[in-house]
Amino acid sequence: MSPVIAIAGGKGGTGKTTIAVNLADALHRRYRLLLVDADCSNPCTRTFFSAAKALWQKEITLFKPQILEERCHYKACKRCVELCPEHALLAQPNKPPALIEDLCNGCSVCQIVCNYGAITEAQQVVGHLYFSEVDGNLHLLVSELTPGSRKNPVVVHHCMVEAERLSDHYDLTLVDCPAGTGIDLYLILRYATTAILVTEPTLLALSDLKKLSQLLLMAGGKPTILVVNKSGINPNLEKQIVSEIEAHYVVKIPYDHRIFRQVSSGRLLMHLSSKYAQIFDKLAEIVVQLAHLRC
Amino acid sequence: MPPREVVVASGKGGTGKTLVAAALALHLEAIAVDCDVEAPDLRFLLKDVVALIAQQEVHESRKAVIDAEKCVRCLRCAEVCRFGAIHVDSHRVHIDPILCEGCGACVHACPREAVSLYTTRTGYVVTAETGSGILLVYGDLAVGGRGSGHLVYAVKAEAQKLARQREVSLLIIDAAAGIGCPVISSIAGASHLIVVVEPTIQSLQGAKRLLEATHRFNLSKALVINKVTNEHQILLLQNSLNLPLLGVIPYDPSIPSIYASTASPFEASDRVVKCIVEVCNRASEWLE
C-alpha cells in the first residue's frame, strides 16, 4: 500500500476537510494522489471538486433477516428473539417475531441459531462508495452512510479496504477523517503511515486532541504533523497546545475570516492569496519528506 | 410526565451545537447532557466541572476470543462473521479486536465451543455540578471504542433519573457531529430537535442529511443559524431546510476567542449575547 496520510482532528469543524482538499491540490501537481473521504456521515470533499467525473459506485450492504412464516415455530421457540445481541427481534403472539430494522446490526446470529431454517438472508443498504476523477493525477473515493443507518463503522471499514485495494495506482493516499476519537478513527489510523492533526486554539479542541493522541499511540504511533488552524486567536493556549501535543512538525494557519467565506462556497484557498498557496506547498513538502517520496 | 429531551445536532461538525446547547441549558435552567461521547466538550461552556456527583463505568462492549487449544480450524467462525474480523494464518485462527463487533455469531457457529465473549469497558457516565450552577451528565467513550450508541443510552438514562430526583423537567442534549450511531441514539426518544447550521454548502448538506436520517422519528424540529454574515444567507437556509427559525447568531471572532478559557456563551460580545438571548427566548416559547 502506498503511504497513507490521515487527516484527523477530534473536535468537529476544526478544518480537516479544508486541509485535506488544499493539501491534495498542492500535491497532485507532482504526484498521483488518491483522496479518500472517510467522513461518511457528511462527506464534504466533493463540494470542492464539483466537476469531478464519476467513474463507478458501489453499495455497501449487510445482512438482515427475513422470517419464513411457514417454517417458524413461533409458538414454541423464541431462540432468535432471545439471542439477538441488539434486541432487534420482537416476539409477537400468533405470528413470527417482528424485526425492528433500526436496531438490526446485520450480524446474522438469528439465522445461525434458528433450528428450523426459518430465517433467510435479505439485505440492508448501509452506505455507498463513489469513485471519481478530478483530473489525471487526482482521484476521489467518497464514502457515504445511508441516512438513518447506525453502521458508520462498517462503511468506514469498507472504504478503507477499498482504498487499500486502489492504493497501488497512486504515490500517496490522503484520508479525510470524521470528527471524533472512537472506532471510526481507529479503523482509519491503523492504515495510516502519517497523521495530520488539525486543531484550533480552544479548550474544546485541545481536550479532544488529547484523546486523539492517545488513539494514535494505540494505533502504533505515527509521524505526526500538527496543524493549528485559526492561529492567533488565543496565543497562550496555542503555546500550551504545541507543547502538550507531541508532533514532529507544526504548521500554523492564521485566523482569517475570508477563509470561512472561501470554504463555505467550496473554493480552494490558493485562489484567496499566495500566502495560502505557500502554506500548503510547505505542508506538502513535509508530507512528501515523511512519506519518503522522491521530490 | 418524564422530563422532555431536546437535542441539539447539526450533521456537520463545528457549526455551534455546543454553544447553543450550553446557552439553552443555562437560560432554561435545564440539565445539560453531553452525548458527544467521543469528544465531550459541553463542560467547558458551563464553567467546567467543579464537583463530581457520580461516575459510573459502562461495560456494554463485547469482543470474541478463540481458545487455541479447543480450536480445530474448521473455519465456521470465519464463514459466519459478517464484519471480516476473523482471519487465519498457517498456525491459528485470529479475531481482530478492532473489527470484532461482539455479536457472538462465531460463538454460536463454533462446533467445539472454542469461542467465547468477554466484556470490555465502553466508557464512563459522569454526573457533575458545573461552575455555572447547571447540572451536567456526560459520556466519555473509551478511546478507539465501539458502542457509542449504548453509552449515549446510558447517559440519557442517568440524566432522566437525575431530572426526576431534582424535579427538573427539561434535558438539553448536545449531540455528536455527523448522523451516525451516536447521533441517531441521541435523537431516539427525544421530543424536540434543534438543527444548528452555518451558511456553508458543507453545513447545508449535513443538515439535509440529518433531516433525512431523522424523518421517521416523531419530532418537533427548529433551526438556529450561526455565523451569519448577511441577510441573504438566512433566507436561503430557511428555504432550503423549511424549518421554523429560532434565531440567528452573527459571525463574530469573539466566539472562538472565549473558548480560550472556560467561559459561558453569555460572555461573548454584546451583539452576540443579544442574539443568543433571543434564540433562548424563542426556544422557550417553542417548547411550551
* Residue-wise pLDDT tens digits, B87-102: 998 889 999 999 999 9
Do the Cβ atoms of A200 and B260 come closer than 8 Å? no
Q: Are residues B176 and B258 in the same domain?
A: yes
- How close does chain B come to A254, measured CA to CA in Å? 13
Work out the mean pLDDT of chain B and round it to a whole number. 96
From CA B217, how far away is CA B213, in angstroms rounded? 9
Q: Which of A151, A219, A233 sits opposite B256 (nearest CB)?
A: A233
- Judged by CB atoms closer than 8 Å, whether chains meet at B105 and A179 is answered as no
Is the same domain home to B54 and B66?
no
CA distances from B53 to A97, B39, B126, B130, B162 (A): 42, 21, 8, 10, 10
One domain, residues B153 and B277: yes
Q: Are residues B127 and B95 in the same domain?
A: no
Q: Which residue is listed with cell 437525575?
A: B162
Q: Can you give the residue range of the structural domain that contains B224?
A: 4-59+122-287
Distance (Å) from the alpha carbon of A72 to chain B's nearest alpha carbon: 19
* Segments making up each domain of chain A, as ranges: 4-58+127-290, 69-117
* Average per-residue pLDDT for chain A: 96
With H, G, I as helix, E, B as strand and everything else as coil, classify residue A66. Answer: strand
- Name the band, by pLDDT with cuts 50, 70 and 90, for residue B162: very high
* Distance separating alpha carbons of residues B72 and B60, to the nearest angstrom: 30
Contact flag B14-A13 (C-beta cutoff 8 Å):
yes
Do both B259 and B210 map to the same domain?
yes
Residue B123 at interface with chain A, using a CB cutoff of 8 Å: no
Which pLDDT score, from 0 to 100, does residue B256 have? 86
Give the pLDDT band (50/70/90) at residue B258. confident
- Which residues partner with B61 through β-bridges? B120
Count the residues in chain A: 295
pLDDT digits (tens, 9 = 90+) for B216-240: 999 999 999 999 999 999 999 999 9
A13-56 residue pLDDT tens: 999 999 999 999 999 999 999 999 999 999 999 999 999 999 99
DSSP B168: -
Identify the pLDDT of residue A195: 98
Contacting residues of A for B179, CB less than 8 Å apart: 41-42, 145, 147
Residues B76 and B46 in one domain: no
Q: A111-147: per-residue pLDDT in tens?
A: 999 999 999 999 999 999 999 999 999 999 999 999 9
> What is the average per-residue pLDDT within A58-72?
97
Tens of pLDDT, residues B37-48? 999 999 999 999
At residue A293, does pLDDT exceed 80? no
Q: Which residue of B has its CA nearest to A12?
A: B13
CB of A211 less than 8 A from some CB of B: yes
Which of B80, B99, B120 is the last residue before a domain boundary?
A: B120
Q: DSSP string of B105-150? A: HHHHH-TT--EEEEEE--EEEEEEEETTS-EEEEEEEPTT-S-HHH
Each residue's pLDDT tens digit, A139-178: 999 999 999 999 999 999 999 999 999 999 999 999 999 9
Nine cell digits for residue B9: 445536532
Q: How confident is the model at residue A295 (pLDDT cuts 50, 70, 90)?
A: low
Residue that terminates a domain, selected from B71, B95, B120? B120
Same domain, B156 and B237: yes
Residues from chain B that touch A266, judged by Cβ atoms under 8 A, are: 201-202
- Which of B13, B62, B209 comes nearest A12 by C-beta? B13
Contact A39 B178 (CB under 8 A): yes
* Dihedral in degrees, nearest 10, Cα atoms B21, B23, B24, B28: 150
Instruction: Report yes or no: B104 at the A interface, CB cutoff 8 Å.
Output: yes
Indicate the CATH number for domain A4-58+127-290.
3.40.50.300
**Same domain, yes or no: B225 and B178:** yes
Residue B170 CA to residue A254 CA, distance in Å, equals 40
Which of chain B's residues have a Cβ under 8 Å away from the Cβ of A18? none
pLDDT at A294: 65
Position B2 confidence tier, pLDDT thresholds 50, 70, 90? confident
Question: Where does A69-117 sit in CATH, by number?
Answer: 3.30.70
Candidates A143, A200, A204, A237: best to mutate against B (most CBs of B within 10 A) is: A204
Q: Which residues of A touch B39 (CB under 8 A)?
A: 10-12, 179-181, 204, 207-208, 211
Residue B90 sits in a domain whose CATH number is 3.30.70.20
User: What whole-number distance in Å separates Cα of residue B130 and Cα of residue A86?
Assistant: 35
Instruction: Identify the bridge partners of residue A63 per DSSP, sorted by sequence position.
Output: A123
CA-only gyration radius of chain B, Å = 22
Q: What is the ipTM of this complex?
A: 0.96
Chain A interface, best mutation among B259, B262, B264, by max A CB count within 10 A: B259
Residues of A in contact with B205 (CB under 8 A): 42, 44, 47
**Is A69 in contact with A112 (CB distance < 8 Å)?**
no
Which of B84, B104, B178 lies closest to A109 in CB terms? B104
Q: How far is CA B256 from CA A202, B178, B226, B273, in A?
A: 7, 21, 13, 14
- Is the separation of the CB atoms in B223 and B15 below 8 Å? no
pLDDT at B260: 86
Domain containing residue B255: CATH number: 3.40.50.300
Query: Nearest-CA neighbor of A126 among A152, A164, A88?
Result: A152
B65, with CB counted inside 10 A (0-12, 13-18, 19+), is middle
Chain A hits for B261, CB-CB cut-off 8 Å, are 203
Q: End of a domain among B120, B155, B171?
A: B120
pLDDT tens by residue, A195-211? 999 999 999 999 999 99
pLDDT at B51 over 70: yes
Write the Ramachandran bin of B75: left for phi over 0, alpha for psi from -120 to 50, otherwise beta: left
Of A13, A47, A161, the CB nearest to B13: A13
Q: List chain B residues with CB under 8 Å of A148.
A: 184, 212-214, 216
Chain B contact for A240 (CB, 8 A cutoff)? no
Interchain CB contact of B103 with A (< 8 Å): yes
Query: Do the strands B192-197 and B4-9 form a parallel or antiparallel pair, or are they unpaired?
Result: parallel
Name the strand (E) or helix (H) holding A79.
Answer: helix A79-83
Mean pLDDT of A89-103: 95
- CA pair distance B176, B188, nearest whole angstrom: 14
Confidence at residue B225, expressed as pLDDT on a 0 to 100 scale: 98
Rounded Cα–Cα distance for residues B37 and B186 (Å): 10
For the stretch A214-265, pLDDT in tens is: 999 999 999 999 999 999 999 999 999 999 999 999 999 999 999 999 999 9
The most distant pair of C-alpha atoms in chain A lies apart, rounded to whole Å, by 74
Please give the pLDDT value at position B253. 85
Is residue B257 very low, low, confident or very high in pLDDT (cuts 50, 70, 90)?
Answer: confident
pLDDT of residue A253: 97
User: Do B237 and B98 sit in the same domain of this protein?
Assistant: no
